[in-house]
Amino acid sequence: MTGRFYKSGLRFVGVFLLLLGGLRPDVANAERIPLVWPTPNRAFLEGGSPSEYVQPTVSGRIESGLYGCTRTGGRQFHEGLDLKTIGRDRNGRASDPIFAAMPGRVAYVNRVGGNSSYGIYVVLEHEHDGINFYTLYAHMRMVDEAISVGTEVEQGAVLGIIGTTAAGYTIPRSRAHVHFEMGLQLDRDFNWWYKQQPYGSRNLHGSWNGMNLLGWDPLEFYRLALAGEIDGARDYLQGQPVALRVRVYYPGVPDLAARSPGLVGGALTEPRGGWDVDFSPYGIPLSFRPVPASVFSESTPGVSIISHDSNLAFPPCRDLLDKKGSGYVPGSDLERTSELLFGK
Domains, the chain, in order of start with CATH, read: 3-226 (2.70.70.10), 241-342 (no CATH)
Q: What is the pLDDT of residues 195-224, one digit of tens each?
A: 999 998 999 999 999 999 999 999 999 999
Which residues touch 308 (CB under 8 Å, ≥6 apart)?
Answer: 243, 244, 245, 321, 328
Determine the Cα–Cα distance for residues 82 and 179; give it in Å rounded to an integer: 4
Determine the Cα–Cα distance for residues 264 and 189; give it in Å rounded to an integer: 20
Task: Kindly tell me if the per-residue pLDDT of 23 is higher than 50.
Answer: no
State residue 31's pLDDT score: 86
Determine the Cα–Cα distance for residues 81 and 70; give it in Å rounded to an integer: 11
Considering only CA atoms, which of 341, 303, 335, 343 is closest in space to residue 187? 341
Average pLDDT of span 259-286: 92
Which of 29-38, 142-151, 155-164 shows the lowest mean pLDDT across its residues? 29-38
Determine the Cα–Cα distance for residues 187 and 255; give it in Å rounded to an integer: 6
State residue 267's pLDDT score: 80
Average pLDDT of span 183-204: 95
State residue 2's pLDDT score: 36
pLDDT bin (cut points 50, 70, 90) of residue 344 is low
* Entry pTM: 0.92
Determine the Cα–Cα distance for residues 216 and 219; give it in Å rounded to an integer: 9
User: Beta-carbon neighbour count of residue 14 at 10 Å?
Assistant: 10
Determine the Cα–Cα distance for residues 108 and 125; give it in Å rounded to an integer: 9
Task: Kindly tell me if the per-residue pLDDT of 249 is higher than 60.
Answer: yes
90 by Cβ neighbours in 10 Å (0-12 / 13-18 / 19+) ranks as: exposed
| pLDDT greater at residue 151 or residue 28 | 151
**What is the pLDDT of the chain when averaged over all its residues?**
91
